[in-house]
Amino acid sequence: MKQLTILFKKDIFLFWRDTSSWIAGLAFGVISIILYALAIDIFILEIQLILPGLMWVTFLFCGILITSNSFENELNEGFIDGLRIMNVPMVFIAISKILVNFIFIFSTEMVLIFISVLFFNIEIKSYTMLIPISFITLGFVSLLTCLSPISYKAPTGTIITYIFGIPLLIPLILAATKITYSLFGITVLENHWLLLGILFSFWQIIMSVILFQFIINE
């Protein structure tokens, strides 16, 4: 566990120092929300009906931007091989990166939700919904993080992440959208969406960590 803590400290420190990926993700999200606000006439269209869906598509692409280069530096100079020689379990490397990406992507989501509240004149009615939203974020961040070495290793780059990642995330995004309706008090949440979101996130986390070991060894 000590090795995991040291890895996590290093990853979070470097993520903060190397500002390029999280600033790119945050800037993309903020610009998207501002564009929606400018492009959609809220007097003609009831924005509440489409906003949660738009937000989750934005979160997804923010996530791809932030996670796509997660292992670029580690794979470039054989850093992961250095850890392998020291018998550091590959699971630790995956968990550390997932946690760091989760912290930054969830923070980005919170900023974007706050901006949406300002721009679209809506209110957060049920703060408890942020708990399942955080868990769903952890689910999709796990998958995107563990697929990111493919985008480094494959000649087609980041496109591979889109092709593999997005179809696997559809049920999660659907559930997340329904939960976000409830966050803003637009509709009452039906329990099966909550269950789908939580179960699917759990499955994504487990599957991603297992999958990572095969991807990194290829």
CB of 166 to another protein, least distance (A): 29
Give CA 192 to chain center in angstroms. 22
Which of these, 24, 11, 147, lies nearest to 83 by C-alpha position? 11
Find the shortest distance in angstroms from Cβ 75 to another protein. 10
- CB nearer to another protein: pick between 18 and 46: 18
- CA pair distance 163, 160, nearest whole angstrom: 5
Distance of closest approach, residue 82 Cβ to another protein, in angstroms: 3
Say which DSSP state 128 is in. Answer: G
- With respect to another protein, which residue has the nearer C-beta, 82 or 121? 82
Binding positions for another protein, rule: CB under 8 A = 2-3, 6-7, 10, 14, 17-18, 73-74, 76-79, 81-88
The smaller minimum CB distance to another protein, of residues 6 and 170, is found at 6
Least Cβ distance, residue 13 to another protein (angstroms): 9
B/e letters for 78-117, b = 16+ CB within 10 Å, e = fewer, are: eebeebeeeebebebbbbbbbbbbbbbbbebbeebbebbe
Torsion sign (Cα): 43, 45, 48, 50:
negative
Nearer to another protein, 41 or 77 (CB): 77
End-to-end CA distance of the chain: give it in Å, rounded: 26
Shortest spacing between CB 14 and another protein, in angstroms: 5
**What does the chain come to in residues?**
218
Between 87 and 128, CB nearer to another protein: 87
In whole angstroms, the minimum distance from the beta carbon of 32 to another protein comes to 28
The closest of 161, 106, 164, 115 to 135, measured between CA atoms, is: 106
11 versus 109: smaller Cβ distance to another protein = 11
